[in-house]
A and B are shown apart, each in its own frame.
Chain A
Amino acid sequence: MKISPARIWREKGSRYKLEGSKCKKCGRISYPPKPSCPYCSCRETEVVELPKRGKVISWTIEYTVLEGYREYAPIIIGLIELENGVKVVAPIVDVNGNEVYEGMEVEAVLRKIYEDGNEGIIVYGVKFTPCNKH
């Protein structure tokens, strides 16, 4: 087993609720959350929940997948800009690769992201799904 409960637990806010961090000085928000602001170097940030909707800026269909991800292949990955301008790289699900387009509106959902073997921990996290399903 490589993934411990503590490792998953401490990321719960960002993984389950799509939390980011807001700089106490410049006010800019980043995802994933960081203890220092990546934009102005201020070392004081606070946790904020991010909007759940956004649009696709870029995407890829990943065919050569990592070990342990065969069941998800091919994986669609999106670079998504949320309604407040914050960007998130995450898988896009419930859609075929040829149906994804630039500007497609998507919303965050909680999904399984990894199983650590048959007896290990199941990891959940944010993926995105199209807002307007067929």
Chain B
Amino acid sequence: MKRVYIVGVGLVKIDRHYDKGYMQLIHDAAKKAFNDIKYYNPEAVVVGNMLSSSLYNQDSLAALAIDAIGLRGLGGLKVEAACGSGGHAVAVGFSLVASGLYEQVIVIGVEKMSDYPTSTVTSALAQAADAEYEHIYGISFPALNALAMRLYMHRYEAKREDMALWPVRMHEYGSKNPYAQLRNRITIEDVLTSPIISDPIRLMDSAPIGDGAAVLLLASEDIAKKISDTPIEIAGIGLGSDGIDLSSREDILNPISVRKAAEKAFRMAKIEPNNVDVVEIHDAFTITALLSIEGLGFAKLGESWRYIKDGRFEAGDKPSINLSGGLKARGHPVGATGVYQVAEVSMQLRGDFPGVRVNNAEKGLAMNTGGVATLTSVIIVKR
């Protein structure tokens, strides 16, 4: 297997981009990525996206993406793993280069969500769950996470206020990240008084709806070292799954897909969880943050909320988690999120992330998941 490097990254600020469709968002992100390097000659495009089919009647999304960056003729495909599409797209892009099939592959994450009312978007997002046994019963995606959140608080004796610390922290980081959708600071009181989406999940426990595009330029080792002064190696990748439905899971508080993906990624990168400097995790809801941290092995099951209360995982801690502001504040343009995460962690290692930064970070990790930790990717990068 060949070594694969990230030689360019480009991000669009996540927002309600009413003036931009898929094509313009991709174009804007790709242009920034191309500015990162001297020359680049892409051979294929992989697009991570969830909702183009359900919200925009748009399949063949890779062809649209290829036209957006003026590369008609290249091969391409879309990768879908619900909200985890982005990370899985990185895995496919990595594989195309690692296998030797191509030397230079562009990975794009893109999503448009702001054109429709919340109920329409909520319905589209619920397609991440079991269509026959959850969606058709009117069970929303926040509702499934709410079942986990209530059980977590009950089993591990976490108070509602304890669960508000995470979103407050995320907004603090988001306020310093120019790419973040939500840049306002919030208080515990703001979280506890925000509207209830699906009790006990409140609006301020939840990632916002937004549009965004992120681009990674991948290259094989020979080419990467020629064209980039700051190549970042993709050192480990792991994927994992859990049941499509929540009913048949043995314990909905044991995120086995995260555990499986992490084990594989750590083994491939030949490192342990305590070697990682910077991490981006998938915190679509507050409960998702806790289960992600525990699944990755940074805390035991049921203990992450105490760690957060004790101030762990802040900037400078090892690992520092979600300095971007996470899905909660940076935003969560669902199928694009995993690509944002890998780009942010790569920028942390390069030392040019424009928000809160960790000095001399050498190893980073991005964890992205679709569904209720149903399809998970873990990607480890190093300088």
Contact = CB atoms under 8 A, between A and B. Distances in A.
Interface of A: 11, 14, 30-32, 34, 38-39, 57-70, 72, 75, 77-79, 87-91, 97, 102, 113-114, 123, 125, 127
23 contacts: A31-B247, A31-B248, A57-B151, A58-B150, A59-B147, A60-B201, A62-B146, A62-B199, A63-B196, A63-B198, A64-B198, A65-B138, A66-B123, A66-B126, A66-B138, A75-B139, A77-B137, A77-B143, A79-B247, A87-B248, A88-B247, A89-B133, A90-B137
A81 B352 CA distance: 50
Given A32-B247, A62-B146, A77-B143, A67 B120 contact: yes
Contact of B147 (A58, A114, A127): A58
B248 A66 contact: no
B122 A91 contact: no
A65 B125 CA distance: 12
Interface string B38-55: 000000000000000000
Contacts of A90: 137
Nearest to B119: A67
A12 B199 CA distance: 31
A75 B143 contact: yes
Contacts, number: 119
A45 to B, nearest CB: 12
Contacts of A31: 247-248
Given A32-B132, A87-B247, A89-B147, A97 B138 contact: no
For the residues of B in contact with A, the DSSP-based class is mixed
B150 A60 contact: yes
A103 to B, nearest CB: 11
A113 B150 contact: no
A30 B132 CA distance: 15
A64 B243 contact: no
B243 to A, nearest CB: 6
A113 B139 CA distance: 10
B221 interface: no
B62 interface: no
A89 B144 contact: yes
Contacts of B135: 66
B295 to A, nearest CB: 18
Contact of A89 (B134, B196, B198, B199): B134
